Structure 1
Amino acid sequence: MNIAILSRGEALYSTKSLLNAGKARNHSMEVLDPSYCNLAIENGKASLYYQNELVKNLHAIIPRIGASNTYYGTNVVRHFEAMNLFSVVSSEGISNSRDKWTCFQILAKHQIPVPKTFFASYFEFEEQLKTFNDKPIIIKLLEGTHGEGVILTESPQNALATIETLNAAGVKFLLQEYIEEAKGTDIRAIVVDGFVVAAMKRKSKAGDFRSNLHRGGTSEIIELSSAEEKIAIKAAKAMGLGFCGVDILQSKNGPLVLEINSTPGLEGIENTSGKNVSKSVIGFIERNKK
């Protein structure tokens, strides 16, 4: 098969891992930078040009759409979908996962537990703050990756100045309970085609509460409980993502979904778990393009 990886970084670990996995299965692999994809509708049909050359004879795509390129990158994926190409993640899934509140709304619709979260209201935020009962609060911007745009405040009173500043700047954000018993750790589960293919536990570095490896966190292999595995699979399905990372918090009330990543990095999970996630992604394509 002819498979394209949509990525702006051909030298990135994740892109190279997917390339190698596809080539090992004798597929024709190429990398297309979505920024250089020209989208057109000609004679009532979707067509796409890459560096002035018509793209044709592709069978499937693996989107690696970065947060800084969400709008155009998602449009590129949607255009390939209009050309009837198979994509391991849907354009709708990418868009919905990038907006944290939209993501939580979808998870709530499917009765998937998440930490208590409020969409911050300019007129009611003081009332919203009271519901946290003087406990620490996480303030999250609607969009952000690698732990950016996430603030931990010790109490609702301490959160007020930050909230007023964000409101004055016209920034949209969420208020979320801090799960203290998680102790700065979370679980990253990689779901491919309805199965958890790899998992790791991440721990924040000293003095931080964010467990992202990009922020100096550490990781170790973990065997998921049946509840954790079930919630990861259910969350991926709810978001319409055939390939994604599901971040889970271990709380006293059971596992809680913290975030869904439609473009999960592969270096940390593959090195930690010893699992070839990229091979699973290629297998996913093969099963759907017989």
Structure 2
Amino acid sequence: MKIAILSRNARLFSTKRLVEAARVRGHSVRVLDPLRCYMRIAAGTFEIHYKGHVLRGIDAVIPRIGASITFYGTAVVRQFEMMGVFTPNGSDAILRARDKLRTLQLLAREGIDLPTTVFGDNPDDTADLLAMLGPAPHVIKLNEGAQGQGVLLAEKNSAAQGMIEAFRGLYANFLVQEFIGEAKGADLRCFVVDGKVIAAMQRQAPEGDFRANLHRGGTAVPVSLTAVEVATAVRAAQVMGLGIAGVDLLRSRRGPLVLEVNSSPGLEGIEAASAVDVAGEIIDFLARATRSDVSGSPRRRARRNT
């Protein structure tokens, strides 16, 4: 199998682990900077060039698209899709997952529980917006933030009002959510591959913070999930159309709540905490998905478009 990994930096831990896992299994693998991929689009024909050469014969592509290059990166993924190349996370699924508001709307439509969320634009509606949510504390987060960036906790309604005014002054899109105090600064990262939770960890926020992201100084330990938590994580990935996903859950009095669904989850923290060869599981998934059937035609998996 010939695999392409779309990554801006071949030295990143996750990228290196995927390359290593592919080569150990005897596959050909190449890291491509998505910003160096360029495309030719004509009636019925699609080409991708990379540093002056046409890319041919690729069986599967793993997108590791950073938030800063979402538009161009997903265009490259879409071009591979048009060429019949298998990808576990399609361009539309990546775009859905990058938009926190859209993610929550899609999950809520399917009856998947999540922290109550409000969203509005006009400053005249702020008081009623917060009333819809209930009393503080409130969590205010940028709609397209990542790794805990742009996430603030307002202890009082007056603080929430001030933070909202500040975000509006920056013309930023943001969400306001209920604060789940019983989670005590911890969340669960469930790593879903091909419809199964293959690894999980519990992340704990550092003292004085409520964000459990490892990039914000959180710590991680292995965790055993309940059957409901497993089912919630798997269902969330399916709703988003992601074959590979990091689903973040909070443990609450009313059961697991989905915080976020990540289309490019990092491997370093989850592999260290769980001792699972996550990179190997991903490569094995690609091998299953691209295995030829009796007729010799590669098996492609359609992802849900919403």
- TM-score over 0.5 for the alignment? yes
TM-score, reference length from structure 1: 0.98
Cα RMSD for the two superposed structures: 1.0
Letter of the aligned partner of 1:27 in structure 2? H
Once the 2 structures are TM-superposed, how far is the Cα of residue 17 of structure 1 from its aligned partner? 0.5
1:166 alignment counterpart? 167
2:125 alignment counterpart? 124
Q: Give distance in 2, aligned partners of 1:118 and 1:285.
A: 38
Once the 2 structures are TM-superposed, how far is the Cα of residue 210 of structure 1 from its aligned partner? 0.4
SS at 1:158's partner residue?
A: helix
SS at 1:127's partner residue?
A: helix
1:241-260 alignment, distance < 5 Å: 241-260=242-261
Letter of the aligned partner of 1:18 in structure 2? L
Q: Give distance in 1, aligned partners of 2:256 and 2:247.
A: 11
Q: Give distance in 2, aligned partners of 1:86 and 1:152.
A: 41
1:27 alignment counterpart? 27
1:36-185 alignment, distance < 5 Å: 36-122=36-122, 123-185=124-186
Q: Give distance in 1, aligned partners of 2:182 and 2:4.
A: 42
Letter of the aligned partner of 1:223 in structure 2? S
Once the 2 structures are TM-superposed, how far is the Cα of residue 169 of structure 1 from its aligned partner? 2.3
Deviates more, 1:150-159 or 1:235-244: 150-159
1:268 alignment counterpart? 269
Q: Give distance in 1, aligned partners of 2:260 and 2:19.
A: 27
CA contact (8 A) 1:189 1:196 kept: yes
CA contact (8 A) 1:132 1:156 kept: no
Q: Extract unaligned runs of 5+ from structure 2.
A: 292-306
2:202 alignment counterpart? 201
Q: Give distance in 2, aligned partners of 1:214 and 1:172.
A: 22
Once the 2 structures are TM-superposed, how far is the Cα of residue 132 of structure 1 from its aligned partner? 3.4
CA contact (8 A) 2:142 2:173 kept: yes
Identical aligned residues as a percent: 47
SS at 1:47's partner residue?
A: strand
SS at 2:133's partner residue?
A: coil
* 1:247-280 superposed Cα distances (whole Å, 9 cap, x missing partner): 0000000000000110000000001100001111
Once the 2 structures are TM-superposed, how far is the Cα of residue 125 of structure 1 from its aligned partner? 2.0
CA contact (8 A) 1:184 1:210 kept: yes
Letter of the aligned partner of 2:121 in structure 1? S
Letter of the aligned partner of 1:206 in structure 2? E
Once the 2 structures are TM-superposed, how far is the Cα of residue 88 of structure 1 from its aligned partner? 1.4
Q: Give distance in 2, aligned partners of 1:39 and 1:211.
A: 39
Once the 2 structures are TM-superposed, how far is the Cα of residue 167 of structure 1 from its aligned partner? 1.6
Once the 2 structures are TM-superposed, how far is the Cα of residue 128 of structure 1 from its aligned partner? 1.2
Q: Give distance in 2, aligned partners of 1:152 and 1:132.
A: 14
* 1:37-89 superposed Cα distances (whole Å, 9 cap, x missing partner): 00111353111000111000100001000111111111111110011100011
TM-score, reference length from structure 2: 0.93
Q: Give distance in 2, aligned partners of 1:228 and 1:277.
A: 19
Letter of the aligned partner of 1:103 in structure 2? T
Letter of the aligned partner of 1:209 in structure 2? F
CA contact (8 A) 1:120 1:175 kept: no
Q: Give distance in 2, aligned partners of 1:242 and 1:33.
A: 22
> How many residues get paired?
290
Letter of the aligned partner of 1:56 in structure 2? R
Q: Extract unaligned runs of 5+ from structure 1.
A: none
Once the 2 structures are TM-superposed, how far is the Cα of residue 97 of structure 1 from its aligned partner? 0.5
CA contact (8 A) 1:120 1:172 kept: no
CA contact (8 A) 2:186 2:202 kept: yes
